[in-house]
Structure 1
Amino acid sequence: MSGVVRTVLGDVPATDLGAVDAHDHLFLRSPVLPGHELDAPWAAEAELRAFAAAGGGTVVQWTPRGMGRRLADVVAASRATGVHVVAATGLHQAVHYVPPLDHVELDLLPGRFIEDLTTAPVRAGLVKVAGGFHGLDEHARHTLAAAAEAHHVTGAPVAVHLELGTAPLEVLDLLCGTLGVPPASVILGHLGRSPDTRVQREAARSGAFLAFDGPSRAHHPTDWRLFDELAALADAGHAGQLLLGGDTTTAAARSVHGGPGMPYLLRNLRPRLGAEFGEDFVVQVFHRNPARAFALARKESSAVPDGA
């Protein structure tokens, strides 16, 4: 295994990530979640410490531009805890931005994504964008195109929020078919929220990575299907494409506030996965797969960013 992953403290060998929470949030703000902001630096650091105590090595924060990334605080938390953190650039669905972005702002996205990935004081390591509910609206198509352009320049992976787990095939058709992003540089998020194993297997056949996340109160009705979905995909030969993340989006969901939080993946889910699928599967999902999924498609400077 080779390649580097771009963290907020600089590029690190992909083999040095340790156990990875492939989709989570240390900081997050959205008008869709009023009163549930993740904005406390002490809580972010405490959550990273709890994750490290459970055996965690890296957290991938999918918070995109304009949603309270607080990158300076991410850097501080990473330094204080020794946990690698991969930050995101990109843009979420239009509903998360008030006032809405106009066409001029949308046209500037490729350059802004590329700057975030290459020359910003704290550099991102992936592009996070979003599809729509059972389809792609104009905003989604615009941001996916910007993400593809940024990938072609930087080699950064593209992570896609699937609304309630829907429209993965439409995303792949545009992102990989029309826009030319290699499927191995695409991560499809929230697939478990639409537990259609046939669609999941079809998406897997593209070669993209498949990210399952949780647990959560909002999506508890589908959380319990996780093992059946993982088994179906592994049996179909796709174990090498599976990723797992916590996707903590509210303060109440953090372990430091009594929720499952980031440590749940390793304290609760990991031993159950080992008992069900074997230790090699666990190492594959938490170590080997993320090392490939989040590696830059081409290596740039390994220096720590200025000001980080």
Structure 2
Amino acid sequence: MEFIRTLNGDIAPEELGVTYSHDHLYCIPPLWQEKKIDDFMIDDIEASIKDVELFTAQGGQAVYDATAIDYGRKTAELKEISDRTGIKIIATAGFNKAVMWPGQMAGTGGTFQQWIDGHTRAEIRDHVVSELTVGMDGTSYKGGVAKFGTGYNTISEAEDKVTRAVLDAHKETGCPLHSHTELGTLILEQLAILRQEGVDPTRLTMAHVDRNPDHWLHLKAAETGLFMCFDGISRVKYHPESVLIDCILNLVRHGHEDQIVVGGDIARRTMYRNYGEGGLGLGYILESWAPRFMEQAGDAGFDGKALFEKFFVKNPQRAFVFKQ
């Protein structure tokens, strides 16, 4: 049996529709809140809804919200956004990365690091399984993806334990997997852990691969069959759009078009249109980037519309599926 788990229940994969495969629609990261970094506070539900409406106006239908508990996941608010806008939201179980773990973990009286250090791999697995099958944050709304992550060229002992626990949760539930790579580092090292644990890489979507625009590295990773998320679109401070499109087309040229998904990873008020900063907003990828990509793909001899359909519709249907 195959299905996609959204905050409004399980659906058939073909019901998902046009999908952003990595974004953050509402989140209050505990560590950044403690440090008073206001730009990371995506905490105005009305502003978030207005930006989602920019997305739906361009034909958007679904979003994978990659906010895990340590990045300030707010399940009830995500459900409200889904209900009020009609979009399907896939939410995140698991954890993000160790740099966030000095933040306070609600309901524990301590930090995420202390909670992780005080729990075994099996206990962390059970926590993630519960988020996937019972509910998150005291609600009955279930996660649709299990997430793990690593730091910038580092995998801490705690990150390694969490990663393997999340992989255990995947084995128990058949859930899809998502990983954070800091600036696109440790891609092959993460895949090595999957190999050690006997997990099929085709069940993993890896984030931020475009932050490290290394053609050789991308092809080596793609050979495993994983999904590669290009989610740095509009973040020219990392790389211009031309670099990202060149990376995508290089993968297509080598036959990996069925493994590419796209998102914006909007996690700052200054990147949203309706948080008072006038950023590009949630509509940008579909409204502006996708037409440019299709034009450049056509110039390179590919069918741009067919590639759009794969990246935004067909590939997410396979990337986010539970298999039981």
Tell me the TM-score normalised to structure 1 length.
0.91
Which of 240, 258, 268 is matched with 2:288 structurally? 268
Aligned positions, number:
296
Conserved? CA contact 2:49–2:81, under 8 Å: yes
**In structure 2, what is the equivalent of residue 190 of structure 1?**
208
Partner Cα separation in structure 1 for residue 95 and residue 28 of structure 2: 13
Which of 261, 271, 274 is matched with 1:243 structurally? 261
Instruction: Say what the alpha-carbon RMSD is for the aligned residues.
Output: 1.7
Conserved? CA contact 1:192–1:223, under 8 Å: no
Partner Cα separation in structure 2 for residue 24 and residue 16 of structure 1: 19
The structural deviation recorded for 1:27 is 1.8
- Which deviates further from its counterpart, 82-91 or 259-268? 259-268
Conserved? CA contact 1:201–1:233, under 8 Å: yes
**In structure 2, what is the equivalent of residue 46 of structure 1?**
50
- Which deviates further from its counterpart, 57-66 or 32-41? 32-41
Partner Cα separation in structure 2 for residue 259 and residue 5 of structure 1: 31
Conserved? CA contact 2:51–2:281, under 8 Å: yes
Q: Percent identity?
A: 30
The structural deviation recorded for 1:237 is 0.7
1:220 is aligned to 2:238? yes
**In structure 2, what is the equivalent of residue 82 of structure 1?**
86
Q: Give the counterpart letter for 1:162 in structure 2.
A: T
Secondary structure (helix, strand or coil) at the match of 1:232 reads helix
Conserved? CA contact 2:22–2:263, under 8 Å: yes
Structure 1 unmatched runs, 5+: 299-308
Partner Cα separation in structure 2 for residue 254 and residue 143 of structure 1: 31
Superposed counterparts of 1:279-298, under 5 Å: 279-298=305-324
- For residues 1-57 of structure 1, the C-alpha deviation after alignment (integer angstroms, 9 at most, x for no partner) is x83110001011111111100000012233257212111111222222111111101
- For residues 171-212 of structure 1, the C-alpha deviation after alignment (integer angstroms, 9 at most, x for no partner) is 00102x111221111011000101111001100000000001
- Which deviates further from its counterpart, 72-81 or 128-137? 128-137
Change (3 A) 1:100 1:9: closer
Partner Cα separation in structure 2 for residue 169 and residue 58 of structure 1: 29
**In structure 2, what is the equivalent of residue 306 of structure 1?**
none
Secondary structure (helix, strand or coil) at the match of 1:164 reads helix
Change (3 A) 1:204 1:211: same
Conserved? CA contact 1:192–1:222, under 8 Å: no
Which of 126, 146, 156 is matched with 1:111 structurally? 126
**In structure 2, what is the equivalent of residue 35 of structure 1?**
38
The structural deviation recorded for 1:223 is 4.5
Partner Cα separation in structure 1 for residue 211 and residue 49 of structure 2: 28
The structural deviation recorded for 1:218 is 7.3
Structure 2 unmatched runs, 5+: 104-110, 298-303
Question: Which fold has the larger relative contact order, with Cα–Cα distance below 8 Å and residues 6 or more apart in sequence?
Answer: 1
